[in-house]
Amino acid sequence: MSANPFLDRALVHGDLYRGAARLVHRTQALHQAKISGRDAAVTIADLLAARLPPDPVVLDIGCGRGTTALHLATRLRPHRLVAVDASAALLTATRDRLDEAGAAASVVRADFHHLPLPNRVADAAVAAFCLYHSPTPATAVAEIARCLRPGGTAVLVTKSLDSYVEFDHLVHAAGLDPHARQRPSLYESFHSGNLHEIATTSLTVLDIRHEEHVFRFADAAHLAQYLATTPKYRITPAGGAVALAAILRQRLPAPPYTARSTVSFAVAVRL
């Protein structure tokens, strides 16, 4: 078993993404806390908008619950949009969101190391907040490049190694995980620092952008909602967000609690 839950194949294909509930709760907690930083899905669509031919074919690799896919569909109006993920539950959530919005798209269940797609099929591909689940992200980037037509654009998105490091200190201070500050970053395999190096193994990088996102959690209950969704820590005792909030109120300084994350976007092409 990997020390990093995001690289633990059993977890990634099991409890982490067997259903959509964890991502829903995590996203809700972060969105409620965000005080600075653009919506990443909007930024991705903006980065692609000026680079695509009419009626493009667009791939959303590791689509999750379909947040980015929905923005791609509504902003870019592609001739064909293909959303790919390894989780059947997340693909169902994506299909439902796209259907509800009246956006035409197809969904494909697949591992991003082995995409069941033809060579040179797409004008653009997005891989946002997913490649850090790979112990060999360059392999996944090579697959993405294989699926792009010459001149096709990829947007690869990840976070910095120190994203949300403030939580490490809060969890340790509350006595919930004595090793919280020593646990590896969830983003250690594919992060802001190695994004350029990995992208250039198969693509030509045109630009890399880094954006700081700031989150302010108003009280212990709000912080507990987020911490209950992260697999990084070995939090004890168990009992869910309500029990966690009670411990945080007792052991931490008065709120609010602030955390930061750097989100990095690489724009690259297949020559």
At 11-66, the pLDDT tens digits run 999 989 999 999 999 999 999 999 999 999 999 999 999 899 999 999 999 999 99
Q: How is residue 89 annotated by DSSP?
A: H
Amino acid in the structure at residue 224:
A
CATH number for the segment(s) 5-162+184-214+261-269 = 3.40.50.150
Predicted confidence band at 2 (pLDDT cuts at 50, 70, 90)? low
- pLDDT tens per residue, range 157-170: 999 999 999 999 99
Report, in this order, helix, strand and coil percent for the chain, each rounded to 5: 40, 25, 40
Give pLDDT, residue 237.
65
In order of 5, 21, 248, the CA distances from 26 in angstroms are 16, 9, 18
Task: Indicate the burial class of 123 (C-beta count within 10 angstroms; 0-12, 13-18, 19 or more).
Answer: buried
> Chain-centre distance of CA 191, in angstroms?
11
- Per-residue pLDDT, 239: 73
**Domain regions of the chain by residue span:** 5-162+184-214+261-269
Counting Cα atoms < 13 Å in the Cβ hemisphere of 144 gives 36
> Can you give the pLDDT at residue 62?
98
> Beta partners for 154?
125, 268
